[in-house]
Amino acid sequence: MITPTTKSVERNWRWFSNFMLIIMVIWTLTPFYWMFATSIKKHKEIYGRDVTLWPTDPTMDSYRTIFFDTEYMTFFWNSIIVAMNVTAITLVCSTLAAYAIARLEFPGRRIMARA
């Protein structure tokens, strides 16, 4: 039987759970916000004494430098190619290993399947 006390405990627990969830989301997203805010600050503001949550004079010069003055996109595409090849090779090897574990009888098979 649900009593008014049980309802208030459930409601309090729900509020506490939601509060903790909000805290965890803020805790998780703060570094991403800080990285973005820092990326649009000028060097003078980054290395200055005053810490600001948002840049006083936002600029996209850092992004312009990365994409147009360096070989960043070449390095990025090299990383994509390597990641795709490693993923494909891992899928093939894992599939063959899984088939062997599932079909073949060998000592220690059950222990390996449980792990």
- Maximum Cα–Cα distance for the chain, whole Å? 70
**Digit-coded pLDDT (tens) for 15-48:** 999 999 999 999 999 999 999 999 999 999 999 8
d(CA 110, CA 100): 13
Which carries the bigger pLDDT value, residue 75 or residue 108?
Answer: 75
> What is the pLDDT at residue 110?
80
Residue 90 belongs to domain spanning:
71-115
> How many domains in the chain?
1
> What is the pLDDT at residue 74?
95
* Position 82 in a domain: yes
**Residues whose CB falls within 8 Å of the CB of residue 47, separated by 6 or more in sequence, listed in order:** none
Q: Is the pLDDT of residue 113 over 80?
A: no
* Position 88 in a domain: yes
Which carries the bigger pLDDT value, residue 65 or residue 3?
Answer: 65
Q: Is the pLDDT of residue 1 over 70?
A: no
* Position 12 in a domain: no
Q: Is the pLDDT of residue 86 over 90?
A: yes
* Position 11 in a domain: no
- Averaged pLDDT, 103-112: 84
* Position 57 in a domain: no
* Position 79 in a domain: yes
CB distance 53 to 37 below 8 Å: yes
Tokens coding 74:
């070449």
CB distance 36 to 54 below 8 Å: no
* Position 30 in a domain: no
CB distance 113 to 100 below 8 Å: no
> What is the pLDDT at residue 91?
98
> What is the pLDDT at residue 4?
67
